[in-house]
Amino acid sequence: MVEEPKLKVVCIEDEPEMIELIRLILGRRNFELIGAVGGREGLETVRQVKPGLVLLDLMMPDMDGWEVYQQMKADPELNTIPVIVVTAKAQSIDKVLGLHIAKVDDYVTKPFGPQELLASVNKVLGVETTG
């Protein structure tokens, strides 16, 4: 069996520990995680890497996640990349805004379990989940 190439995932997050946690979760599932600390670095990384998926934190000091998202959607080279918002903002209004108004692909609330994150990633990428 030929090993499939790893799907590149960019995680834009202001906490390096969270990037490492997500790297551990996705690394076992044939994803290559590229971490970017903060919105500006994240947007730059997405432009360079052109990943198959972006995991995006909303609450970041330099450029918040919505700003990153809007800039991605305004860029013809990036606007088809699926985005999962990963945030501690658990209020339902944010979820409604995220999914319906901004049209993000999915929404995972911190703290999350590994299965929850993987289920979201698989759903957005249309991957069948196997145990």
Structural domains counted in the chain? 1
Domain that holds residue 78: 7-124
DSSP string, the chain: -PPPPPEEEEEEES-HHHHHHHHHHHHTTTEEEEEEESHHHHHHHHHHH--SEEEE-S--SSS-HHHHHHHHHHSTTTTTS-EEEEES---HHHHHIIIIIS--SEEEESS--HHHHHHHHHHHHTPPP--
Say if 1 falls within a structural domain.
Answer: no
Q: Does 89 score more than 70 pLDDT? A: no
Q: Which range has the worst mean pLDDT, 27-36, 64-73, 96-105, 121-130?
A: 96-105
Say if 17 falls within a structural domain.
Answer: yes
Say if 2 falls within a structural domain.
Answer: no
Say if 27 falls within a structural domain.
Answer: yes
Say if 32 falls within a structural domain.
Answer: yes
Going by pLDDT thresholds of 50, 70 and 90, the confidence category of residue 131 is very low
**pTM for the complete prediction?**
0.88
Say if 131 falls within a structural domain.
Answer: no
Q: What CATH number did the domain enclosing 58 receive?
A: 3.40.50.2300
Say if 130 falls within a structural domain.
Answer: no
